[in-house]
Structure 1
Amino acid sequence: MTDERRPDGDGTGPGRARLLIGGGLAVVLLAVIGGSAGWILAGDPDRPAAPGEAAPVVTASTSAPVTTPPATTAAAPTGTRTSAPAGLTVPEVVGVDFEQARRELRDRRLGWRLVFGTGAGRSVERASPAPGTPVKRGVTVSLFVTGPAPAVTVPDVGTLSCSDAADDLVDAGLYPRYGTGRQGPVTAQEPVAGSPARWNDQVVLTCGDTRSVSPSATPSPTG
């Protein structure tokens, strides 16, 4: 008898089939796992969710993009700004003779008030508002004089109109007062012309026709 022995498998038996089937399943599983991992990493919203896996939530941004305006730089001011406003100011009258100081105020159409002191001299020691202060026309400036009010003589204004008489009194350092009004000629003054006075004293002027009109007589009835 001859004893012929064949190998246990020639590569075509059931063992090979099982190996091929097992290998094929492994390849398929790896492909599925790889694909799932790719979808997860890529965040693909179209991938269907695997069993037990939550579907990916895709949110769309509806807000408009925020636009930051470009920074602006303020333009540097040009020109030179003066510290003192332009216009009428109180003149420099400190140290000046008070009559000259008064003339300077009159030339600028400013009022004045003389306040005499008890010292010696005729100069202005201070002014209010102070020299250089911006003012409007007609503002009264007080001049403080170092010495007392000088003596003057009351002028004769009896032949002038009321307005002209007032100007002469002011020029002499006196102030007019009006007893009956400011219209018409001067009919009387007090103190009278030639009387001694001092700066800032007042002179009362009586202006206009002061003659009274007597009522007409009523005839008595006759019997």
Structure 2
Amino acid sequence: MTDGTTDRETGRDGTGPDRVTLMVGGGIAAALLAVIGSAGGWVLAGDEKSPVTAPVEAADSRSPSAQTTPPPRGRPTPTTAAPSSTAPTRPTGLTVPDLVGMNFEEARHELRGLGLGWQFVFGNGNSSSVLSTNPTAGTPVQRGVTVVVTVTGSAPPNSVPDLLGMKCRDAGAELVDDGFSPRYPTGRSGTVTAQEPEGGAVRKWNDIVSISCGTASSGDESASPQ
């Protein structure tokens, strides 16, 4: 009995109860230190402040800087119309009258009243009526355009007027009225000092009559082209 008690109290390796107590206590202390260490590490880790990232605020759509400007649209390159080779003709409502079958002198009167020129082309017959016109009847024209009038018959005889002493411009106008073509070898100023053929000579329509005009006096004006 005594041996068993002794063995239990002292132990076989010679260690006593105090050593067992220290070992148990040391193990508990180690466990506590481990728990404290892990908790301390968590606390220390919590003390370190991680960098704070500021939240990105949504841009205010009302702010000018936040508005998105769409890219400019490509503007079409303006094209320049190629210049026309001829100026556009404005309609005047004026057309060539129907002169076919009309006496050529009456046809001339109508053309003059419309502000149109005329040129007679005579044929070989005896009729004085208009055969055709160029441009034809109904063609839109501008004032001043010359209409070629073809007459069925030949040019009738015509008497040359006496123009001596007349103002050059008035003499030219009279020649046109009488169916002649005036020429001005010395110009159109002054008065008529000579003419060829002379007054009273018989010629035909469209024949040329030359008139020589002298220096205009102080009261004369320069003759305008007829």
- TM-score, normalising length: structure 1: 0.55
Give runs of ≥4 in structure 1 deviating > 3 Å. Answer: none
Give, in whole Å, the separation in 2 of the partners of 1:86 and 1:163. Answer: 30
Identity %: 55
Q: Which residue of 2 aligns with 1:104?
A: 110
Deviation at 1:86, TM superposition (A): 5.8
In the alignment, is the contact (CA less than 8 A) between 2:92 and 2:142 conserved in 1? no
Paired residue for 1:131, among 134, 137, 147? 137
In the alignment, is the contact (CA less than 8 A) between 2:101 and 2:131 conserved in 1? yes
Question: Is 1:195 matched with 2:201?
Answer: yes
> For residues 38-117 of structure 1, what are the structure 2 equivalents within 5 Å?
87-117=93-123
Bigger radius of gyration: 2
Q: Which residue of 2 aligns with 1:184?
A: 190
> For residues 150-169 of structure 1, what are the structure 2 equivalents within 5 Å?
150-169=156-175
Deviation at 1:160, TM superposition (A): 1.0
Give, in whole Å, the separation in 1 of the partners of 2:93 and 2:203. Answer: 38
SS at match of 1:118: strand
Q: Higher helix proportion, which one?
A: 2
Give, in whole Å, the separation in 2 of the partners of 1:152 and 1:86. Answer: 36
Deviation at 1:209, TM superposition (A): 2.8
- Give the length in aligned residue pairs: 126
Q: Which residue of 2 aligns with 1:141?
A: 147
SS at match of 1:203: strand
In the alignment, is the contact (CA less than 8 A) between 2:128 and 2:153 conserved in 1? yes
Give, in whole Å, the separation in 2 of the partners of 1:93 and 1:165. Answer: 29
What root-mean-square deviation, in Å, do the aligned CA atoms of Structure 1 and Structure 2 show? 1.3
Give, in whole Å, the separation in 2 of the partners of 1:125 and 1:96. Answer: 9
Tell me, which stretches of 5 or more residues in structure 1 are unaligned? Answer: 1-84, 211-223
